[in-house]
Amino acid sequence: MEALKQFDGHYWKSLFDSRVGKTNWPYGSGVWSKKEWVLPEIDGDDIVSAFEGNSNLFWAERFGKQFLGMSDLWVKHCGISHTGSFKDLGMTVLVSQVNRLRKMKRPVVGVGCASTGDTSAALSAYCASAGIPSIVFLPADKISMAQLVQPIANGAFVLSIDTDFDGCMQLIREVTAELPIYLANSLNSLRLEGQKTAAIEILQQFDWEVPDWIIVPGGNLGNIYAFYKGFKMCHELGLVDKMPRLVCAQAANANPLYVHYKSGWKDFQPVKANTTFASAIQIGDPVSIDRAVFALQNCNGIVEEATEEELMDAMAQADSTGMFICPHTGVALTALIKLRNSGVIGPNDRTVVVSTAHGLKFTQSKVDYHSKNIPDMSCKFANPPVQVKADFGAVMDVLKGYLNKTPKV
């Protein structure tokens, strides 16, 4: 920070703004356009990038107005990305550094992670691009088919292990302590250095105006800290004059941070994470718990939770306004709905919900919901297809019934 403080906020803003939308290597990446703040000393030739970042910040006008009476609601689509999640932002930094270490002949035989599906997809893609072996530990039968096929296709060594994510995490930590395999989970701060650029990007996209609220779904809890760090740096280095308030949203079935928050931050206890449609955050013993607590305590942050029904309904409502979000973003939207209904978030507060993965990775959950195929869930926003005979009269009857119910313009 001392070195960066040699330049003022105006300098950094115009430097970062000058790089947006260009193809210059590596600055065309949303992460590497902030290289001086991420990993300054790395040589451009060592960087492994898919020009990640620069994701769209979408004005959720209809969702905000129709469901929440809000005028200034935005969704940061970090999941519209190379491997379909925000993990690309951190993985480009970590794999670039490993690439550099290997060129320096350091003994790194490969890179490994435990994963609920998105970290493994990003790791295997970036490693494949650089010709570095990747090893991924996945909890058997607990990730989506779309996520599972990503490391397989990218040539990773995939271990499907009969445990949950927390079990995989413990195993990879033990294995990487014994073997020269570089650990790629977010306890490695290189990941967070990349992920923090999403916060800087949001400020940049608002012309360096600070939103009131940022809502982030949390699992292993690296990302909530990364957002805090990105905003904090912009504040301390004079690019903006205040911090937003952060909200971390968890699935009620995997809510150790929520329980800790509700206890007044007394004694943290890991939980046994139960099955959730937000499967990528089915984590009971998050590795970045201390960082997350630090971040939330220092920005007057809030933790919320979402039941399965709440998160699936929120996802369906968002999709009905033209989005196609993942269940984790449904968790974040539920937090928004609760905070808006209780008046904590005001109708005109500028609010950004961070969407963390592409909805196409989680289509089975949408199929189950719209087929009303979920035990004990009413699926009240389901929109199942109508079965109809191949007959003009039958089709017309069905269409007339539909058009009669459709609001007139």
* Of positions 249, 356, 359, 366, contacts ligand PLP by CB under 6 A: 356
What CA–CA distances, in Å, run from 287 to 89, 169, 170, 397?
19, 9, 10, 57
| Count of beta carbons in the 10 Å neighbourhood of residue 146 | 17
| 257 lines the binding site for ligand PLP (CB under 6 A) | no
Name the segment binding ligand PLP (CB under 6 A); options: 4-12, 154-162, 221-229, 394-402: 221-229
Q: Is 349 in the site for ligand PLP (CB under 6 A)?
A: no
Tell me: does residue 217 bind ligand PLP (CB under 6 A): yes
Any contact of residue 255 with ligand PLP (CB under 6 A)?
no
Which part of the chain contacts ligand LJ64HWYM (CB under 6 A), choosing from 114-122, 334-342, 347-355, 360-368?
114-122
Query: Which token pair is 206?
Result: 């608002």
Residue with Cβ nearer ligand PLP (202 or 221): 221
244 binds, among ligand LJ64HWYM, ligand PLP, none (CB under 5 to 8 A by kind): none
Show the site string, 266-285: x = touches ligand LJ64HWYM by CB under 6 A, - = not: --------------x-----
Taking contact as CB under 6 A, which single stretch among the options 116-124, 226-234, 249-257, 270-278 is the one that binds ligand LJ64HWYM? 116-124
C-beta of 326 vs 345, nearer to ligand LJ64HWYM: 326
143 touching ligand PLP, by CB under 6 A: no
Member of 223, 255, 276, 351 binding ligand PLP (CB under 6 A): 223
Give the residue among 323, 325, 299, 114 at the shortest CA–CA distance from 224: 299
Q: Which of residues 173-192 bind ligand PLP (CB under 6 A)?
A: 186
Distance CA 76, CA 246 (A): 14
Among 221, 237, 247, 335, binds ligand PLP (CB under 6 A): 221
Residue ranges that bind ligand LJ64HWYM, judged by CB under 6 A: 113, 115-120, 185-186, 219-220, 222, 280, 287
Residue ranges that bind ligand PLP, judged by CB under 6 A: 85, 116, 118, 186, 217-223, 280-281, 326, 328, 356-357
